[in-house]
Amino acid sequence: MYDFFYNTDIGLVILTVAEALALLVPLLIGVAYLTYAERKVLAAMQLRKGPNVVGPFGLFQPFADAIKMVTKETIIPSGANRALFLMAPMLTFMLAMLAWAVVPVNDGWVSADINVGILYLFAISSLGVYGIIIAGWASNSKYAFLGAMRSAAQMVSYEVSMGFVLVTVLLCVGSLNLSDIVRAQRHMWFCIPLFPMFIIFFISALAETNRSPFDLPEGESEIVAGFFVEYSSMSFGLFFLGEYANMILMSGMTAILFLGGWMGPFGLWPQLGVLWFILKICALLFVFLWVRATFPRYRYDQLMRLGWKVFLPFSLIWLVLTAGALMAFGWLPNA
Amino acid sequence: MITAILFYIFAGILLASAAMVVSSRNPVHSVLFLILAFFNAAALFLIAGAEFLAMILVIVYVGAVAVLFLFVVMMLDVDFAELRSGFQRYLPVGATVGVVLLLELAIVLGGWELAPGAVQLRMSPTPVGMSNTEAIGRILYTDYIFQFQTAGLILLVAMIGAIVLTLRDRKTSRHQNIRHQTERTVAETLQLVSVKLGAGTTASGGILRPIVAEPEPVEEEADAGGHGHGH
């Protein structure tokens, strides 16, 4: 059996598909319940009840929403570029799924343990902007295009400081492999020595996923719904799923880079493994929702100022400081 | 075997999409085909075992450069009919330049000899027992540090040049001074006046308005209305 799965081509293909399903099915269920959690958390913070009609405590609400979305009519505007219009949501959703190939959920539990895992994640997350730009352009609508332009500028801006944060972490690890990054935190999670970087990374993650208070690309009060204003039914649904899957991905990335991935605090209960990882993702997702319920939306020039004039110089200086400290005290890994 | 098949698939798509970049009618489609070409080049790098280069290609070219291309091309108002109208007229000149370039390329390639050591190194991208990233880092930061730093410096100069050329602080554009904004108090912003019943409804509809500072006189520049913000 072992021989069949690991040493024949067909076995390897079956194994890979099984691994992908084992990762993606829980992920999609997580996405479904994240939408439910968002509505419940926001409701609780605004002293409302939230969805409570479909099923016990409204627990079947995500499925009701999904069925509604699938059964509605897909409307394609007559002036739209059909092929690109339909490609954009698929691209967004696909990229959100694709990135999970390298995420280690437990020690050794990763479908592709590649050497440049963190670069792969960074590459995939930097592609997310295409879905939005293409959607905005192909819709042939001014609101959609305005949203797309905002989002392109925003995502490119915040990627720069995010890159510096990643480099700082990599300096402390000495490897681009995600499992190695987690293992390097067995004595201390990076959120303690690199606390400012942790905060910058998390805020950049908010901007990168177009979440409130940086949800200018969809700003419903100014540009209706931004880049997906022309989308309906499942093509809208894919954007929606993609955004929430990206939130989970970014939380996972934060957990891996700064919160010790699958490891418990102080090495507690190492056998829990994947549950620790999920717990950390849930905690970070709660902060995503908390921020949405708390902060008003940024104005566009404030957003750009924060990215370029605050985060970029700060992360650059912190990078130099980290490198200097590692060098001065001889803490460089692999040296 | 599988590697060879994959190589030909990726190389084929790469060439086809490169051809589509120059031949497609819609410039946005051109850029999208360019992105496809980048992707397939990254896949070829992966097949050759250069995973670091593959990822950097995707991050830098697809994630940043092509986004800006797409951005610019989408905002351009290109008139295709006008673009094609000069085709006949410029064909001889274009063809001559192309032929000359091709001949020059042929002459250079004809007289080119590979360095004797390079042939053995050709298909062994990494030294044994060292990851790809490490190997590149060692070469880049030791033997070629001068060239590397120079390249960085040139990019910095280009960046500063672009900012200097395009950034113009026009008097008409409004800026928010964050310090002033946070130091504002109610006393200096809002004026409360008691108005007799019905007396304040004539001019401004009876609404209390913030005190507006006298706007500074705007100096009209020679090309006012030309290249402002938002272009």
Are residues A205 and A253 in contact, defined by beta-carbon separation less than 8 angstroms? yes
Listing DSSP states for A292-334 in one string gives HHHPPPPPHHHHHHIIIIIIHHHHHHHHHHHHHHHHHTT--TT
B52 interfacial to chain A (CB closer than 8 Å) = yes
Average pLDDT over residues A190-209: 88
- Say whether pLDDT at B223 is over 50: no
If one compares A111 and A315, the residue with the highest pLDDT of the two is A315
User: Could you give the C-alpha distances from B43 to A91, A102, A195, A313, B35, in angstroms and in order?
Assistant: 18, 17, 36, 34, 12
Residue with tokens 């390097």: A184
B195/B201 Cα distance (integer angstroms): 9
pLDDT surpassing 50 at residue B228? no
pLDDT at B153: 95
- Enumerate the residues of chain A whose CB falls inside 8 A of the CB of residue B74: 133, 137, 145
> What is the tens place of the pLDDT at every residue in B169-181?
777 777 777 788 8
Q: What angle do CA A122, A126, A132 make, to 5 degrees?
A: 150
Closest to A123 measured CA to CA, from A166, A80, A62: A166
Q: Which residues pair with A106 in a beta bridge?
A: A109
Alpha carbon dihedral A127, A129, A130, A131, in 10-degree steps, equals 110
Residue A117 CB neighbour total at 10 angstroms: 24
Asked if residue B229 has pLDDT above 50, the reply is no
What local confidence, expressed as pLDDT, does residue B216 receive? 62
Q: Which residues contact B123 (CB under 8 A, 6 or more apart)?
A: B48
CB proximity list for A110: less than 8 A, separation 6 or greater:
A102, A103, A104, A178, A179
Q: Do A145 and B59 touch (CB under 8 A)?
A: no
Phi, psi of A9 (to 5 degrees): -65, -45
Q: What is the pLDDT of residues A96-148, one digit of tens each?
A: 888 888 888 887 777 777 888 888 888 888 888 888 888 888 888 888 888 88
Three-state SS letters, chain B: CHHHHHHHHHHHHHHHHHHHHHHCCCHHHHHHHHHHHHHHHHHHHHHCCCHHHHHHHHHHHHHHHHHHHHHHHHHCCCCHHHHHHCHHHHHHHHHHHHHHHHHHHHHHHHCCCCCCCHHHHCCCCCCCCCCHHHHHHHHHHHHCHHHHHHHHHHHHHHHHHHHHHHCCCCCCCCCCCHHHHHHCCHHHHCCCCCCCCCCCCCCCCCCCCCCCCCCCCCCCCCCCCCCCCCC
pLDDT confidence of residue A102: 87
User: In this prediction, does ipTM exceed 0.90?
Assistant: no
Q: What is the pLDDT of residue B11?
A: 92
Q: Which parts of chain A fold into alpha helices (H)?
A: 2-7, 9-45, 61-71, 82-98, 117-138, 142-173, 178-183, 195-208, 220-223, 233-258, 274-294, 300-305, 312-328
A-facing residues of B in 173-202 (CB < 8 A) are 176, 178
Yes or no, beta carbons of A137 and B28 under 8 Å apart? yes
pLDDT band at B152 (very low <50, low <70, confident <90, very high): very high
CB contact under 8 A, B59 and A152: no
Q: Which pLDDT belongs to residue B121?
A: 65
Query: Given B32, B58, B132, which is nearest A115 (Cβ)?
Result: B132
Q: Tell me if residue A94 falls in helix, strand or coil.
A: helix
Residue B99: CB atoms within 10 Å: 10
Give the pLDDT mean for A196-205.
90
Tokens standing for residue B122: 């050709």
- Would you call B58 an interface residue with chain A, using a CB distance cutoff of 8 Å? yes
Residue B134 has pLDDT above 60, yes or no: yes
- The mean pLDDT value for A291-311 works out to 86
Q: Closest-CA residue in chain B for A302? A: B176
pLDDT tier, B160 (very low <50, low <70, confident <90, very high otherwise): very high
Q: Between these two residues, A95 and B200, which has the higher pLDDT value?
A: A95
Mean pLDDT of chain B: 79
Query: Binning pLDDT at 50, 70 and 90, where does residue A301 land?
Result: confident
A269: pLDDT confidence band, cut at 50, 70 and 90? confident
Residues 6 or more apart in contact with residue B73 via CB below 8 angstroms: B27, B28, B30, B31
Mean pLDDT of all residues belonging to chain A:
85
CB-closest option in A115, A126, A301 to B133: A115
B179-195 pLDDT tens trace: 888 888 888 788 877 76
What pLDDT does residue B225 have? 42
* Residue B87: both structure tokens together: 């085709």
Q: How many CB pairs under 8 A join A and B?
A: 62
Contacts of A116 in chain B (CB under 8 A): 51-52, 55, 132-133
Whether chain B has a CB inside 8 Å of the CB on A37: the answer is no
Q: Is the dihedral of CA A156, A162, A164, A166 positive or negative?
A: negative
Q: Does the CB of B67 have a partner CB in chain A at under 8 Å?
A: yes
The predicted-structure confidence for A210-230, as pLDDT tens digits, reads as follows 887 888 777 667 777 777 778
A12 contacts: CB under 8 Å, gap ≥ 6: A5, A6
Q: Which of A67, A84, A91, A97 is nearest to A234 (CA)?
A: A67
- Residue with more model confidence, B105 or B26: B105
Q: Does B64 touch chain A (CB under 8 A)?
A: yes
> Which of B71, B134, B156, B178 should one mutate to test binding to chain A, selecting the residue with the greatest count of A CBs within 10 A?
B71
Q: Give how far A33 is from chain B: nearest CA, Å.
A: 30
Q: Average pLDDT of B101-109?
A: 91
* B58 neighbourhood in chain A, CB within 8 Å: 123, 126-127
Radius of gyration for the alpha carbons in chain B, expressed in angstroms and rounded: 30
| B71 touches A at CB < 8 Å | yes
Q: What is the pLDDT of residue A50?
A: 83
| pLDDT at residue A335, rounded to an integer | 56
CB A132 within 8 A of CB A217: yes
Chain A contact set for B35 (CB, 8 A): 130
Question: Quick one: how far is CA A91 from the chain centroid?
Answer: 15
Interface contact B74-A133, CB threshold 8 A: yes
A284 alpha carbon, distance to own chain's centre: 11
Burial category of B90 from C-beta neighbours within 10 Å (exposed 0-12, middle 13-18, buried 19 and up): exposed
The Cα of B206 is separated from the nearest Cα of chain A by a number of Å equal to: 27
* A272 Cβ neighbours under 8 A, 6+ residues apart: A264
Q: Is A12 on the interface with B (CB under 8 A)?
A: no
**A310 — contact with chain B (CB < 8 Å)?**
no
* pLDDT attached to residue B204: 55
Facing B52 at nearest CB: one of A116, A145, A159: A116
* CA nearest to A30, candidates A213, A288, A249: A249
Residues in chain B: 231
Residues of chain A in contact with residue B71, where contact means CB-CB under 8 angstroms, are 133, 149, 152
Query: Around A1, how many Cα atoms within 13 Å sit in the side-chain half-sphere?
Result: 0
Q: What percent of chain A has pLDDT over 70?
A: 97
Question: Residue for token digits 């092509």?
Answer: B66
Of residues B88 and B214, the one with the higher pLDDT is: B88
Dihedral sign for Cα A233, A235, A239, A245, please.
Answer: positive
pLDDT tens digits, A35-78:
899 989 999 998 888 888 888 888 888 888 888 888 888 888 88
